[in-house]
Amino acid sequence: MEKKFGDDKERMLKELIKKGESESLELKPSLSQINEIIETVAAFANAKGGKVIIGVSNRGEVLGLKIGKDTIEKLTNKIIASLEPKIYPSISVKEIERKQVIVISVEEAKEKPVFAFGRAYKRVGRSTLRMSKNEIERVILEKRRIYWDEQICEDASLEDIDEKKVEWYLERREEIRKVKKPREMDLETLLINIKAAREVNGKVKPTNAGILFFGKNPQRFILQSQLRLARFAGKELSRDFLDRLDCSGTLWEMVEQAEDFIRRNIRLFGFRTEFTFRRIDKLEYPLKAIREGIINALIHRNYEEPSDTRVMIFDDRIEIVNPGSFPKGATPDNPRHVPVNPTLCQLMYDVGFIEKYGTGIFMMKELCREYGIHEPVYELSEYETKLIFKSGGKAVLIAEIEKLGIQLNERQKNALRYAFREGFITNKIYREINKVSHELANRELSQLVELGLLKVKGKGRATKYIPKS
DSSP string, 194-246: TTSEEEETTEEEEBHHHHHHHBSSGGGT-GGG-EEEEEESSSS--S-EEEEEE
Amino acid in the structure at residue 418 = Y
Q: Are residues 161 and 176 in the same domain?
A: yes
Q: Are residues 311 and 343 in the same domain?
A: yes
Number of domains in the chain: 4
Q: Tell me the helix, strand and coil percentages in the chain, rounded to 5.
A: 40, 25, 35
Q: Are residues 348 and 414 in the same domain?
A: no
In a domain, residue 99? The reply is yes
Q: Are residues 424 and 283 in the same domain?
A: no
Residue 375 carries which DSSP code? P
Q: Are 301 and 149 in contact (CB under 8 A)?
A: no
Q: Three-state SS string across 103-147, please?
A: EEEECCCCCCCCEECCEEEEEECCEEEECCHHHHHHHHHHHHCCC
Query: What pLDDT sits at residue 164?
Result: 97
Sign of CA dihedral 317, 320, 326, 332: negative
Choose one of 202, 221, 240: the last residue of a domain. 221
Q: Single out the residue of 390, 375, 369, 361 nearest to residue 266, CA to CA.
A: 390
How many Å separate Cα 194 from the centre of its chain? 27
Q: Are residues 159 and 253 in the same domain?
A: no
Choose one of 390, 417, 439: the last residue of a domain. 390
In a domain, residue 177? The reply is yes
By the 10 Å C-beta count (0-12 exposed, 13-18 middle, 19+ buried), 372 is classed as buried
Return all residues near 408 (Cβ < 8 A) that are at least 6 apart.
398, 401, 402, 416
CA distances from 55 to 30, 66, 92, 93, 146 (A): 5, 9, 12, 10, 43
Query: What pLDDT sits at residue 200?
Result: 84
Distance in angstroms (rounded) separating the CA atoms of residues 388 and 376: 5
How many other β-carbons are positioned within 10 Å of the β-carbon of residue 64?
16
Q: Are residues 201 and 245 in the same domain?
A: no
In a domain, residue 297? The reply is yes
Query: What pLDDT sits at residue 1?
Result: 38
Q: Are residues 25 and 118 in the same domain?
A: yes
Which 3 state secondary structure label does DSSP give 334? coil
Q: Are residues 61 and 117 in the same domain?
A: yes
Q: Are residues 193 and 326 in the same domain?
A: no
130: β partners: 121
Q: What is the CATH number of the domain that holds 82?
A: 3.30.950.30
Sign of CA dihedral 63, 68, 69, 73: negative
Q: What is the CATH number of the domain that holds 420?
A: 1.10.10.10
Q: Are residues 421 and 299 in the same domain?
A: no
Q: Are 389 and 293 in contact (CB under 8 A)?
A: yes
229: β partners: 245, 311
Q: Are residues 249 and 385 in the same domain?
A: yes
Show pLDDT as tens, one digit a residue, over the chain (469 residues): 344 444 677 888 898 999 999 999 999 999 999 999 999 999 999 998 999 999 999 999 999 999 998 999 999 999 999 999 999 999 999 999 899 999 999 998 888 899 999 999 999 999 999 999 888 887 877 666 678 999 999 899 999 999 999 999 999 999 999 999 988 889 999 999 999 999 988 899 999 999 999 999 999 999 999 999 999 988 898 887 889 999 999 999 999 999 999 988 987 666 655 555 556 667 889 999 999 999 999 999 999 899 999 999 998 999 999 998 887 767 777 777 778 899 999 999 999 998 876 678 899 998 988 887 889 999 988 789 999 999 876 555 566 677 677 888 999 988 988 887 777 899 999 999 999 999 999 999 999 998 888 889 998 888 999 887 5
Distance in angstroms (rounded) separating the CA atoms of residues 344 and 252: 10
In a domain, residue 425? The reply is yes
How many other β-carbons are positioned within 10 Å of the β-carbon of residue 299?
27
How many Å separate Cα 16 from the centre of its chain? 29
Which 3 state secondary structure label does DSSP give 317? strand
For the chain, the C-alpha Rg in angstroms (whole number) is: 29
Angle at 92 between CA 91 and CA 95, to 5 degrees: 150
In a domain, residue 137? The reply is no
Query: What pLDDT sits at residue 397?
Result: 59
Q: Are residues 238 and 375 in the same domain?
A: yes
Choose one of 103, 131, 159: the last residue of a domain. 131
Q: Which domain holds residue 345?
A: 224-390
